[in-house]
Amino acid sequence: MSTGTRIGKVERNTAETSILIKVDLDGTGAYDVSTGIGFLDHMVEQFSKHSLIDVTMKVEGDLHVDQHHTTEDSAIALGQALLDALGDKAGIGRYGSAYSPMDETLSRVALDISGRPYCVWNAKFSQEKLGEWDTELIQHWFESIAQSAGLTLHCELLYGQNNHHICESLYKGFARAMRIAVERDPRKGEAIPSTKGQLGG
Percentage of the chain with pLDDT > 90? Answer: 88
H helices within 52-157, ranges in order? 68-86, 136-149
Does residue 129 lie in a domain region? yes
Q: How confident is the model at residue 2 (pLDDT cuts 50, 70, 90)?
A: very low
Does residue 201 lie in a domain region? no
Does residue 133 lie in a domain region? yes
Q: Please give the mean pLDDT across all residues of the chain.
A: 93
**Per-residue pLDDT averaged across 174-200, rounded?**
79
State the total domains in the chain: 1
Domain of 26: which CATH number? 3.30.230.40
On the question of pLDDT at 197 being above 90, the answer is no
Does residue 187 lie in a domain region? no
Report which of 109, 78, 98, 115 is spatially closest to residue 192, judged by C-alpha positions: 115
Range of the domain at 125: 7-182
**Per-residue pLDDT averaged across 135-145, rounded?**
98
pLDDT digits (tens, 9 = 90+) for 44-73: 999 999 999 999 999 999 999 999 999 999
pTM of the model: 0.93
Does residue 149 lie in a domain region? yes
Find all residues with CB under 8 Å of 51, minimum gap 6, and list them.
29, 175, 176, 178, 179, 182
On the question of pLDDT at 14 being above 50, the answer is yes
Does residue 199 lie in a domain region? no
Does residue 195 lie in a domain region? no
Radius of gyration of the chain (CA): 16
CB 19 within 8 A of CB 80: no
Q: N- to C-terminal Cα distance for the chain?
A: 19
pLDDT value of position 186: 83
Q: How confident is the model at residue 193 (pLDDT cuts 50, 70, 90)?
A: low
Does residue 130 lie in a domain region? yes
